[in-house]
Amino acid sequence: MDIELKHKVTDAVISRKDFVADERLKNASIINFPNVTNSKLTSEQADVIDSIINGTYTRIEPKSSDETSALSRRYWLYAPGANSSKWEEFYSQGIMGIEWDEMGDLKQYPTKDAMKTKMKELYGAEYSYRNSALATWQFANEIQVGDIVYAKKGMYKVVGRGIVESDYIFDAERDGYKHIRKINWTHNGEWEHPGQAALKTLTDVTPYTEYVNKLEALFIDDEAADIPPEEPEIKYEPYTEDDFLSEVFMDVERYTTLVNLLKTKKNIILQGAPGVGKTFAAKRLAFSIMGQKDTSRVMMVQFHQSYSYEDFIMGFRPSKDGFELTPGPFYQFCKTAQDDDERDYFFIIDEINRGNVSKIFGELMMLIEKEKRGEKLRLLYSNELFSVPPNVYIIGMMNTADRSLAIIDYALRRRFAFFELFKESESSSQGIIDYS
């Protein structure tokens, strides 16, 4: 439908940080339940928002950062220097800090990609800096007042717990670790970490509810450095729309339609007779949207009658000690894409109609919908809150000649757009685009 905007309330953006930083707004339903479409406000909360809009706002500090709603609080695993070398200093000063001092004030960078570019300029272009840029971005922009931080040492011990008390600060007067936040360290000691901790400077562990529950005493020992080495930067061959059109039998108009369908729906199925090149076209479609043949951001699996949720998402697998919970390819792919949210990722499923799609996707059948991307559901086996990132695109393939499997699950049909591919001998003007 057409919508005409009659009145613009404000040019300002009222951020989550503004809500959490005010005693009257910190428990608003839009903060505690961010995924709902409509959120109720009390009269007091509405008056405060009006004052923000009209410029008469005066903030009332939250009574205690420890009272921040548990539903909006996030939990972080943090390395205070290599092998916890800065822990005693940070504990005594009531701060947490990270390096990359040459970057200057991290607030000057609008995106993680801008941070990566600067890191390559400062430290050498041979590495990707994906983990480093993620850590600096999260430290400056995503950690909030009231969040809980667990300080780790190595991979098997935890040395402290604290509550964040300030926004990001760039302290140019410090000799090192100039990026800091004030924090109330509530615990100082040494605790065994349950299992092996992530080898990253900063990790958001909020979605892992069972893991967080085990962390009220925390992590890590071992002489390994807390900061893993950066991955070498890989140069991929460029791949453009013209490259796609020169390799795949499709005109510009149909290619544009195909790309728009995928970007609009997030999920698409390429259907056609055997031999039309669906697999080839799917990979080239991903490359053309990425602008390069980046195989690290494309994964492919094939469904069959025995394929299951345990194979695809997560399940128990035999090990030398019995059975252990093992993540599947789609789970791992989504986790990788989640940490690299400024680039697109493509998950390709061959013979998608040969598997029991509802059974394979399980509770994630809802989360692959475009409107549900980023929302969290608890996984069947791990008691973990999981989401499908908005930058993951799913490309399925199916044979129209496979009449025995022609009846497609309605849940699948509703969540995917359908696009027909033809042999070169057939007219390019033919086509079926199913928006159901």
pLDDT tens, residue by residue, 34-75? 544 566 778 888 888 888 888 788 888 776 544 344 446 899
DSSP state for residue 230 in the 8-state scheme: P
pLDDT digits (tens, 9 = 90+) for 247-265: 998 999 999 999 999 999 9
Reply yes or no on whether the pLDDT at 237 is more than 80.
yes
Residue 16 pLDDT class (50, 70, 90 cuts): confident
Tell me how far apart the alpha carbons of residues 42 and 50 are, in angstroms, rounded to a whole number: 12
Tell me how far apart the alpha carbons of residues 270 and 280 are, in angstroms, rounded to a whole number: 11
Residue with the larger pLDDT of the pair 29 and 180: 180
Provide the residue type at 412 as one letter.
Answer: L
Do β-strands 202-204 and 75-78 pair in parallel, antiparallel, or remain unpaired? antiparallel
Reply yes or no on whether the pLDDT at 328 is more than 50.
yes
Provide the residue type at 165 as one letter.
Answer: E
Torsion sign across C-alpha atoms 147, 153, 154, 156: negative
Tell me if 144 sits within 8 A of 164, measured CB to CB: yes
pLDDT digits (tens, 9 = 90+) for 206-228: 888 778 878 754 433 333 345 55
Residue with the larger pLDDT of the pair 195 and 167: 167
38: Cα separation from own chain's centroid: 24
Which runs of consecutive H residues, i.e. helices, occur in 162-308?
Answer: 209-213, 241-247, 252-265, 278-290
Tell me if 278 sits within 8 A of 428, measured CB to CB: no
Name residue, tokens 């990788």.
336
| Mean pLDDT to the nearest integer, 286-310 | 94
| Mean pLDDT to the nearest integer, 359-373 | 91
Give me the pLDDT at residue 232, please. 74
Torsion sign across C-alpha atoms 284, 289, 293, 298: negative
Give me the pLDDT at residue 427, please. 44
Give me the pLDDT at residue 171, please. 95
pLDDT digits (tens, 9 = 90+) for 378-413: 888 887 889 999 999 999 998 876 654 445 667 677
DSSP state for residue 389 in the 8-state scheme: -
Residues of the chain above pLDDT 70, percent:
85
CATH fold group of domain 75-213: ph1033 like fold (3.10.590)
CATH 3.30.70.1140 at 241-434, yes or no: no
Residue with the larger pLDDT of the pair 33 and 298: 298
What is the pLDDT of the chain when averaged over all its residues?
84
Reply yes or no on whether the pLDDT at 355 is more than 70.
yes
39 token code pair:
């959120």
pLDDT digits (tens, 9 = 90+) for 98-130: 999 999 999 999 999 999 999 999 999 899 999
| H or E stretch at 309 | helix 309-312
Give me the pLDDT at residue 349, please. 96
- Label residue 429 exposed, middle or buried (CB < 10 Å: 0-12, 13-18, 19+): exposed
Break the chain into its structural domains and give their ranges: 16-67, 75-213, 241-434
Largest CA-CA distance found in the chain, in angstroms, rounded? 75
Give me the pLDDT at residue 300, please. 95
Residue with the larger pLDDT of the pair 1 and 242: 242
DSSP state for residue 30 in the 8-state scheme: H
